[in-house]
């Protein structure tokens, strides 16, 4: 076991300590840690993790975590990966008011009621309960209608299990799924003649493809302005360089003309 690791009550299970956090991040003060990756370390107890008050990005995947109590203190946490653990309650996450993306695939969540605590998270946009590629899921995912029910429970979600469900791009994604389903039904049909197609309908709503002005924060506006200023200066320097090169070429062409020499 590493020198910074502390055994829990169950043998080799690891408890998060200040020494572990400092060893992993190189930070001397826990409140200075912004990003933390503790994947696959056998962690079962979160210990002093709640003291990382400024933490914004946290990866705890592939551990043995079942209780999330200390996470309730992380008010700045925006991205949290808890996949492949032993979590059966998300109650403490209801206090993570800045949370935007949550991955809990591969845990023990058995009903939508256990997700009710997330309803107050106004910034939550992405939630993953099932990961087909990694073969991770939750008991609640055994119901084929859980995604639809989840959208009703958390209407602010834009992505469920990595699939876009609202916002720009979701209509096109749903269209592709509908086309796939239609083709599958057509391929499994009998030998009867197909029905004539009805009137063609637009794929997306009118104006969908029109360019919309991007929303920028004040920081982005200032960065955009500075970028344009630098770009303008570069163009001016380029024009000056072109003029200087043209003058030099004319001077060289005059000198290379034998008639220009005086004897």
Query: Over the chain, what is the mean pLDDT?
Result: 82
pLDDT at position 188, please?
54
**CATH code (residue 79):** 3.80.10.10
Query: Does 96 map to a domain?
Result: yes
In a domain, 226, yes or no: no
What pLDDT, on the 0 to 100 scale, is given for residue 198? 57
Read off the pLDDT band of 212 (50, 70, 90). Answer: low
Helices (H), 84-123: none
How many independent structural domains does the chain possess? 1
Residue 23 lies in a domain: yes
CB 114 within 8 A of CB 89: yes
Give a yes or no: residue 104 inside a domain. yes
The pLDDT score that the predictor gives to residue 10 is 44
- Reference 121, options 104, 107, 108, 102; nearest CA is 102
Is residue 199 in some structural domain?
no
CA distance linking residue 24 with residue 34, whole number of Å: 12
pLDDT digits (tens, 9 = 90+) for 130-146: 999 999 999 999 987 89
Mean pLDDT of 49-61: 96
158 inside domain = yes
Whether residue 194 lies inside any domain: the answer is no
Taking only the tens place, the pLDDT of each residue in 73-96 is 999 999 999 999 999 999 999 999
């Amino acid at each position: 076991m590493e020198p910074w690791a502390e055994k829990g009550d169950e043998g080799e299970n690891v408890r998060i300590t200040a020494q572990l956090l400092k060893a992993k991040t190189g930070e001397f003060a826990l409140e200075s840690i912004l990003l933390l990756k503790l994947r696959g370390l056998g962690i079962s107890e979160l210990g002093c993790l709640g003291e990382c008050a400024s933490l914004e990005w946290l990866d705890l995947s592939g551990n043995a975590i079942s209780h999330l109590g200390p996470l309730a203190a992380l008010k700045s946490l925006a991205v949290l990966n808890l996949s492949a653990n032993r979590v059966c309650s998300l109650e403490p996450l209801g206090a993570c008011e800045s949370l935007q993306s949550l991955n809990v695939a591969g845990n023990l969540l058995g009903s939508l009621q256990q997700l009710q605590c997330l309803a107050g998270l106004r910034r939550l946009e992405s939630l993953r309960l099932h990961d087909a590629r990694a073969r991770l899921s939750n008991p609640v995912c055994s119901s084929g209608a859980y995604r639809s029910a989840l959208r009703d429970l958390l209407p602010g979600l834009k992505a469920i299990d990595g699939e876009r469900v609202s916002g720009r791009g979701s209509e096109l994604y749903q269209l592709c799924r509908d086309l796939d389903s239609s083709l599958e039904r057509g391929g499994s049909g009998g030998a009867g003649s197909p029905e004539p197609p009805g009137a063609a309908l637009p794929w997306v709503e009118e104006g969908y493809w029109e360019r919309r002005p991007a929303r920028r924060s004040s920081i982005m506006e200032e960065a955009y302005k500075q970028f344009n200023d630098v770009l303008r200066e570069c163009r001016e320097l380029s024009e000056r360089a072109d003029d200087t090169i043209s003058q030099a070429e004319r001077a060289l062409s005059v000198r290379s003309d034998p008639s220009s020499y005086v004897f």
